[in-house]
Structure 1
């Protein structure tokens, strides 16, 4: 049985995010993601003004008159959230941790999908697949997604983006709108992302904290990597060390964003302690204008 305190927290997130969906996002969801699937419906005789590229040459050859193919848009989308629950998601130097931000984001995306009659599924991953929830509809399903985002206890602490993308490519045959939510503190996943990009509609969501790219001057400190457990001693009073740390963070961020540009992927950047609605709304409007 779920403790009452946990249920109240899940309910608060649901209520808070429900208002945001109603006011800002629900109306933009279908216009941003419409037309993700097109399926053949029938053929009919060619009419003046029809696109000649739609002519069905096989039927035309058998009937001695031109026929064109008709297609219809699949109105129901398949949506999947791939969410990083590695050790680095517990970082939070503002009013919330990365994981709390991701739970709110997941609630907004799931409710936006449900309100538009789309199915939504969830895959939690660290250095392995932690949990895979099939795509379904309904408010009870959204509550389960919020609960798992907040309280799943991962067995692993690292991040393996290649593994979760390979899992997606193996298990999702239908074209899917995929929100890949992570801080992307990993490497070696580019090839798997290319394969997923060809099969699915991939939306990278980059989660950051304001201070993770900065090193404060607090003297000699011991730092532990939350994913690998490695411990190092660093003199933060050294300006050279602080500059090295910040430069390394910038280079890794630029390399990641450069890879997204090469694949023509438009990421959403979200930061703990900041309102996530405006970046989401801007992204939805950008997709709508491109279509």
Structure 2
């Protein structure tokens, strides 16, 4: 039996994210994702104006007249949320941490999926796999996903995107829509991302905090790497130090985004303390326009 305060928190997230789905994202999920897979249905005689690339040459050869293949959209897809639960997700210089932002975002995507009659699953990862919830339908299932997002107590502290993507490829046998939600504070995952990209529809969701890219002038500060525990003293009085910090962050972002471009991935960027709905709406619009 869940404690009353946990039930209240899950219920609050359910009400908030359902409102977002119903009022702000209504219809956009289907426009962006419906029919992401297709399956063969039948053939019919070729008609003037048909796409010649759809000609079924085997049937054409047997019948002596051209036929084309007709396909139908798959009416149900599987959606997987791969969610980073590493220690760096506790970062938050505004009213919420990255983990809290991710919970709201994940719940919104899950409710959008089931409203579109799709199945949704969850993988929580750090430098290992913390939790795996297979894709299913229904509100009760989404409430379980919210509970796991809220109250996961990860064993690991680091980030290993390669392990998360390898686990996806082992468990998701059919092509799935995959939201890879992380701050991407990892390296060496390009090969695993390439392999997953060939099989699945991968959508990177980059969750960041303003202080990770811009350092204010607040004097001497002690900084601790949440994932390694390493401590450093940083003099923010120095303009050169602040510029070096921001340049290092900029280079890491450019390397990450260049990888996404090479793999033709369209990322979603969200920041703590900001409303992620606009970012989702822009992404859905781009996706619909591209389709």
Q: Tell me the secondary structure at the aligned position of residue 93 of structure 2.
A: coil
Between the aligned partners of 2:281 and 2:22, the Cα distance in structure 1 is 12
Corresponding residue of 1:236: 236
1:48 & 1:264 partners in 2: Cα distance?
Answer: 34
Give the secondary-structure state (helix, strand or coil) at the position aligned to 1:80: strand
- Counterpart for residue 43 of structure 1: 43
1:192 corresponds to:
192
CA distance in structure 2 between the aligned counterparts of 1:223 and 1:142, rounded to whole angstroms: 37
Q: Deviations over 1:138-162 (max 9, x none)?
A: 0001101111111101110000111
Moved more, 167-176 or 48-57: 48-57
Supply the distance in 2 between the matched residues of 1:242 and 1:45 (Cα, whole angstroms). Answer: 68
How many Å separate the matches in 1 of 2:55 and 2:241? 66
Question: Are 1:146 and 2:176 matched, yes or no?
Answer: no
Tell me, which stretches of 5 or more residues in structure 2 are unaligned? Answer: none
Q: Shift in Å at residue 240 of structure 1?
A: 2.5
Whether the aligned pair in 2 keeps the contact of 1:36 and 1:175 (CA below 8 Å) is no
2:284 paired residue number: 284
Which deviates more, 256-265 or 232-241?
232-241
**C-alpha separation between the residues in 2 aligned to 1:179 and 1:53?**
32
Aligned: 1:221 with 2:221? yes
Deviation sequence 1:189-232 (CA, Å, 0-9, x none): 11111121221111111101122223333443332210111222
**Is residue 81–residue 121 contact of structure 1 (8 Å, CA) maintained in 2?**
yes
Q: Are 1:99 and 2:87 matched, yes or no?
A: no
Number of matched residues? 291
Deviation at 1:44, TM superposition (A): 3.1
- Shift in Å at residue 178 of structure 1? 0.7
Measured in 2, the distance between the counterparts of 1:57 and 1:217 equals 69
Report SS of the residue matched to 2:212: coil
In the TM superposition, what is the alpha-carbon distance from 1:43 to its structure 2 partner?
Answer: 2.4
Structure 1, unpaired ranges of 5+: none
1:67 shift after superposition: 2.8
1:124-135 counterparts in 2 under 5 A?
Answer: 124-135=124-135
In structure 1, C-alpha distance between the alignment counterparts of 2:69 and 2:213, rounded to whole Å: 54
C-alpha distance in structure 1 between counterparts of 2:289 and 2:214, whole Å: 36
Q: Output the CA distance in 2 between the equivalents of 1:54 and 1:212.
A: 50
- Determine the C-alpha separation between the residues in 1 that align with 2:266 and 2:70: 31
State the partner residue of 2:14: 14
Conserved? CA contact 1:39–1:74, under 8 Å: yes
**Matching of residues 15-164 of structure 1 within 5 Å:** 15-164=15-164
Structure 2-normalised TM-score? 0.95
Q: Please give the alpha-carbon distance, in whole angstroms, between the structure 2 residues aligned to 1:48 and 1:56.
A: 15
Give the CA deviation at 1:48.
4.0
User: RMSD in angstroms over aligned alpha carbons?
Assistant: 1.5
Q: Judge which range, 225-234 or 70-79, deviates more.
A: 225-234
